[in-house]
């Protein structure tokens, strides 16, 4: 099994560095070759997921390599299943008038991860405004691509399960995840500002559905 596990990390910048460091150490212990980041910010399209398709990306002055082989496999599976996607190479970035961005909350974790896992390649995926079912299918496609690539990988999903302002939502979502009632997760309604975080979670669920593997749910 090449998908070694998943870490769900809240997007709250107030999360302590010590807690993030502990998580980074747990991820490093799995010795992944690839870290797949699911970020609810960045190049968000209303009708497709977006994937950065670049050899390297500059994050806070440091170059990180992307696994283009894994991304090729991912695109093949997406196309085969008719799932909308935008792979952003340099020409695509120029065409859409955008540049690569990595959210601040993700940078905070990445810096700590790099210290304890110096060698790895990345993938950066932003969920778009797809239906919940298509997001689940996209997650399954990601898992299939990881298995085809043959490289041990860990998914780092930035999404918020706890919401301080909505205890009912928090308890409902935790119950759905605990009981594996993913159809109920698809029916959850959240304010527009929280929609992309829920979409990121649904994509992660699709990638790990039915998978018995190491799972870290920091702060969730």
Residue with tokens 């995926």: 125
Q: 107-147: per-residue pLDDT in tens? A: 999 999 999 999 999 999 999 888 989 999 999 999 999 99
Encoded tokens for 51: 């994937």
Q: Binning pLDDT at 50, 70 and 90, where does residue 45 land?
A: confident
Residue with tokens 């398709």: 53
For 186, counting Cβ atoms within 10 Å of its Cβ (0-12 exposed, 13-18 middle, 19+ buried), the class is middle
Q: Binning pLDDT at 50, 70 and 90, where does residue 210 land?
A: low
CB-CB contact of 170 with 21 (8 Å): no
Nearest to 48 by CA among 79, 72, 83, 82: 83
Helix (H, G, I), strand (E, B) or coil at 156: strand
d(CA 43, CA 63): 19
């Amino acid at each position: 099994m090449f998908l070694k596990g998943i870490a769900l990390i809240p997007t709250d910048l107030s999360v302590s560095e010590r807690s993030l460091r502990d998580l980074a150490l747990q991820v490093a212990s799995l010795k992944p070759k690839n870290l797949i980041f699911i970020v609810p910010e960045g190049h968000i399209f209303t009708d497709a997921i977006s994937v950065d398709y670049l050899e390297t990306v500059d994050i806070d002055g440091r170059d990180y390599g992307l696994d283009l082989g894994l991304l090729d496999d991912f695109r093949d599976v997406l196309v085969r299943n008719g799932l909308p996607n935008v792979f952003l190479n340099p020409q695509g970035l120029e065409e859409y008038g955008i540049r690569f961005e990595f959210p601040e909350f993700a940078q905070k974790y990445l810096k700590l991860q790099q210290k304890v896992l110096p060698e790895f390649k990345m993938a950066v995926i932003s969920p778009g405004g797809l239906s919940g079912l298509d997001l689940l299918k996209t997650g399954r496609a990601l898992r299939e691509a990881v298995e085809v690539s043959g490289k041990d990988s860990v998914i780092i999903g930035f999404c918020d399960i706890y919401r301080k302002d909505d205890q009912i939502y928090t308890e409902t979502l935790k119950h759905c995840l605990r009981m594996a009632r993913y159809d109920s997760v698809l029916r959850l309604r959240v304010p527009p500002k929280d929609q992309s975080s829920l979409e990121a979670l649904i994509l992660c669920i699709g990638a790990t559905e039915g998978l018995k593997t190491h799972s870290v749910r920091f702060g969730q």
